[in-house]
Amino acid sequence: MATIVVGVDPSTAGRKALVFALREALVRSADVVAVRTWMPPSFAMTYPIASVVTELEQEAAAEARTVVEEQLKLAVDEVPGADAVPRRALAVHGPAAQVLVEAARDAALLVVGSRGLGALSRTVLGSVSSSVLHHASGPVVVVPAAAEVGARIGRVLVGVDHSPQSHEALRWGVEEASLHDAPLVPVHVHQHVVTGEECVDLPNLEQAERVALRAAAGAAGAADRAAEPEVLVGHPAASIEELADPADLVVVGSRGRGGFAGLLLGSTSTQLAQHATAPLLVVRSS
């Protein structure tokens, strides 16, 4: 059985990440491992008495277990049918990002919450979600606090620049759209339409790109599921962000081998994770 690992914290984004993970587990027949990490209070190491340090560590571990169990129960109550999902609640000692990356090494999906509040906010990803996004070896979903994670996904928007990474993302997008019976929307963003004195024929360029997107979706297995592709002009991250609604799922690809020595994500996936109001699925490929 496939496993979905989700990082747990009692914030709005953390709760929505749990809801997203349970919803995904239902359609994938997967189990859910909810992980809350803990570290002893920083002042614990100033105590010279080992028994005092041990007591503080036990209290931190107990608090983490309580949080993860309570949050998982609340999320299960929120998702119809989620009581049938096999699930475990774990409290694990260690740095949060490192623990989550290691826990999800063989998982089908890693889900984390983000405190980002959209394009007009100066708030960026938290340190844990940012580190997880950059270093996980497999696919990661970042769920912002502003996301709508109800019973259904609105649309599955997939950023396609015709690189191998975006074609891998498109395959994931096709699967997500099929599992959730949601419209699939391949999206291509032209960054430059004028080079020197050369003016590009925008209508013909758009039509040609729509044909290419339909062909790419078909090759990824979309068959008749692909909605009308979107061809936009502008900055890729900003354009996709503006197109996406909070109930949608945005899927993008990124290079990188994962692990804490792995390559960093591309600028589009990073910026979308910082500012998008919809959940973002980043598919990492080598």
Domain ranges of the chain: 3-285
Percent of the chain with pLDDT over 90: 58
CATH fold for the domain made of 3-285: Rossmann fold (3.40.50)
Integer Cα distance of 148 and 142 in angstroms: 13
Average pLDDT of the chain? 84
**Span 42-94, pLDDT tens digits:** 555 555 555 555 777 888 889 999 999 999 999 999 999 999 999 999 999 99
For residue 120, pLDDT beyond 70: no
pLDDT in tens, 190-247: 876 555 555 556 678 888 999 999 999 999 998 777 678 999 988 889 999 999 999 9
Residue 256 to residue 60: CA distance in whole angstroms: 34
Confidence at residue 273, expressed as pLDDT on a 0 to 100 scale: 86
pLDDT in tens, 155-184: 999 999 888 889 999 999 999 999 999 999
- The pLDDT of residue 131 is 85
Query: Helices 164-180 & 202-219, crossing angle to 10 degrees?
Result: 70
Pick the closest to residue 284 from 250, 258, 260, 261 (CA basis): 258
pLDDT at 65: 94
